[in-house]
Copies of this chain bind each other. A is one copy, B any other.
Amino acid sequence: MPDRRPDLAAMIVPLGRALMAAEQPVLDRHGISMWGYSVLLGLGAEPTHTQSALAKRIGADKTRIIPVLDELQRQGLIRREPDPADRRVNLVALTDAGRATRDRVQRDIQRAEETVLEPLAAADRTALLRALRVLYEANRSPD
């Protein structure tokens, strides 16, 4: 039986790697790390973010994002201020520059990703995107 289907993971994991490889040059061009980008995205809508809440939200360890936050702050992309109400916590927020950078990087990244999807016919591409979104919404942590 020469062509049973490959395992899903065997198809999807390399695809994920290919996408990340396609993103890396974009991130390099903007001088931002993958985790840095993830933080910028994670700081999206919500009003207040403590560091540990932010870490949990993007699936990182709280110790892991500290150097990331340091760098983003140094670049002027985020603000980090002690909460007056609880002086243990840092409130993290995007600056205007951070928001602008996030949007520019995301635009370029999604463009780069499209090239990976080039082998697909238009109908397959939209079907793939829709199916992925369903799975993404289904599996994400219940707000």
**Chain A residues in contact with chain B, CB under 8 A?**
2, 4-16, 18-20, 23, 41, 45, 59, 106, 109-110, 113, 116-117, 119-120, 124-125, 127-136, 138-139
* Dominant secondary structure of chain A at its interface with chain B: helix
Copies of the polypeptide in the assembly: 2
Q: List the B residue with the shortest CB-CB distance to A139.
A: B18
B124 touches A130 (CB 8 A): yes
- In the complex, what distance in Å separates the CA atom of A58 from the CA atom of B10? 10
Which of B6, B16, B125 touches A133 (beta carbons < 8 Å)? B6
B127 touches A5 (CB 8 A): no
B15 touches A139 (CB 8 A): yes
A13 touches B9 (CB 8 A): no
A127 touches B129 (CB 8 A): no
A124 touches B131 (CB 8 A): yes
- In the complex, what distance in Å separates the CA atom of A82 from the CA atom of B43? 57
